[in-house]
Amino acid sequence: MATSTEPVAIVCVGMAGSGKTTFMQRINAHLHSKKEPPYVVNLDPAVRNVPFESNIDIRDSVNYKEVMKQYNLGPNGGILTSLNLFATKIDQILTLLEKRTAPPPPPEEGAPPGSVKKQIKNIIVDTPGQIEVFVWSASGDILLGSLASSFPTVIAYIIDTPRSGSTSTFMSNMLYACSILYKTKLPMILVFNKTDVKDASFAKDWMTDFEAFQAALQVEEDGGGMGGADGTGAGFGQGSGYMGSLLHSMSLVLEEFYKHLRVVSVSSMTGDGIDDFFVAVQEKKDEFNRDYKPELERRRKQRDNEKEGKRQKELGKLLADLNMDNTSKGKGKPKPKPKKEEPETISDMEDAEDEDDEDGGLVEPDEEYEENDADEDEDGLKKRYQQALKDEGAPSADDFSFAKYLHSSNMG
């Protein structure tokens, strides 16, 4: 059962330049000032300098430049492959996180009050600016999924407020956030950053008041511009009715999506709004435990059942290959192997080799196998197979003797 001391994982996601790293630095400093130092994880392999100390840094285990050189990749491929390599260590990472965030042992008698260790309550995670590389990759899935299966996990989507000033750039950002929410299926906080440059109240209004968004849209249409790259609304679309009606429809569609979000405005530069952000984290943590966790557990159970079904199927196939199933029971001899035609061409030969490979290296039982088999109890054999097919736990002594038995019968 969830407790309020249970650590929460905050994953910072956002477009390049939105201020993720500066925001990470700010919340890190904030937590330190509250004497609640967080556990810091950096998942951006391409970042040059991180202005804070990380407890786990992807760059310590994967050299992004080397990965690019070795696999002949571009920058995005390099980040993706680095994340893939890092994701293979997820078990070790989780073990470490669980160990570090566990409640400390009770203090020894007479220990000075300052020496008592505090439990880590926040894990903060920085991600690459190439959102799609992280959110839409298998490794991102593994990293986020594993984190969420161990800790309440919250996505902080960082938005560059000054660059979201026009209705179209604002809408693009919201659609991106929407896709992340549906892909990760984790609670999300929208963090409007850089509010020292531009106040985010306009964005809050647009999200809560449909009329306000429509009015802004009208002003932009009348002004003949539908949002330029600078976020000011100049230069793109030139007031085309198409853009206006698309944005209008989008705002209606997104109304439902907005209800699931918590919005905060902060300045990573000045520290404004950071307290608000942590209130939002607490709310979303409770929401995770209430709504998301049962769904996660349901999905995990479903996956386990599917895995078990597959395992049983494999077992059936294996026994059928060895002619150990009920249909062959009592018949004594395994089915004779059909005589293969001599290959006439190279491709025939390759096909024949492929067919052999499909057996997974298992050869048909021969006469000697059959003799050995007579002594072998079928049920016992099934059990041993089941044991061998289990993907967890160390192999038993039985497994080794059975492997030896299989090996010798194949060699015979």
Ligand X SMILES: Nc1nc2c(ncn2[C@@H]2O[C@H](COP(=O)(O)OP(=O)(O)OP(=O)(O)O)[C@@H](O)[C@H]2O)c(=O)[nH]1
Which residues of this protein are in contact with ligand X, per CB under 6 A? Answer: 14, 16-22, 47, 129, 193-194, 196-197, 267-269
Q: Toward ligand X, which CB reaches closer, 131 or 250? A: 131
What stretch of H or E contains 220?
helix 210-222
Rounded to a whole number of angstroms, the minimum distance from the CB of residue 15 to ligand X is 7
Rounded to a whole number of angstroms, the minimum distance from the CB of residue 199 to ligand X is 12
Smallest CA-to-CA distance from 257 within 382, 153, 171 is with: 171
Long-range contacts of 360-367 (CB under 8 A, 24+ apart): 362/318, 362/321, 362/322, 362/410, 363/410, 364/321, 364/334, 364/337, 365/322, 365/323, 365/334, 365/409, 366/409, 366/412
Rounded to a whole number of angstroms, the minimum distance from the CB of residue 134 to ligand X is 11
Q: Which residue is nearest to ligand X (CB)?
A: 129
Q: Toward ligand X, which CB reaches closer, 14 or 165? A: 14
Q: Toward ligand X, which CB reaches closer, 62 or 243? A: 62
DSSP string spanning 364-395? PP-HHHHHHHHHS-HHHHHHHHHHHH--SSPP
* Structure tokens belonging to residue 307: 């895995």
Sheet containing strand 122-126, strands side by side:
56-57, 39-42, 122-126, 8-14, 153-160, 188-193, 261-265
104 in Cβ contact with 80 (< 8 Å) = no
Q: Toward ligand X, which CB reaches closer, 197 or 252? A: 197
What stretch of H or E contains 94?
helix 90-101
Within 13 Å, how many C-alpha atoms sit on residue 366's CB side?
Answer: 10
Rounded to a whole number of angstroms, the minimum distance from the CB of residue 230 to ligand X is 15
Q: Toward ligand X, which CB reaches closer, 193 or 323? A: 193
Strand partners, 125: 11, 41
First to last CA, the chain: 56
The sign of the dihedral angle between the CA atoms of 107, 113, 117, 122 is positive
Rounded to a whole number of angstroms, the minimum distance from the CB of residue 25 to ligand X is 8
Cα 276–chain centre separation: 27
Q: Toward ligand X, which CB reaches closer, 16 or 116? A: 16
Rounded to a whole number of angstroms, the minimum distance from the CB of residue 105 to ligand X is 37
Q: Toward ligand X, which CB reaches closer, 198 or 384? A: 198
Rounded to a whole number of angstroms, the minimum distance from the CB of residue 200 to ligand X is 11
Smallest CA-to-CA distance from 227 within 176, 165, 168 is with: 168
Q: Toward ligand X, which CB reaches closer, 37 or 271? A: 271
Smallest CA-to-CA distance from 401 within 371, 376, 365 is with: 376
> What's the chain's Rg over C-alpha atoms?
29
Rounded to a whole number of angstroms, the minimum distance from the CB of residue 205 to ligand X is 21
What stretch of H or E contains 40?
strand 39-42
Rounded to a whole number of angstroms, the minimum distance from the CB of residue 143 to ligand X is 17
Q: Toward ligand X, which CB reaches closer, 130 or 166? A: 130
400 in Cβ contact with 388 (< 8 Å) = no
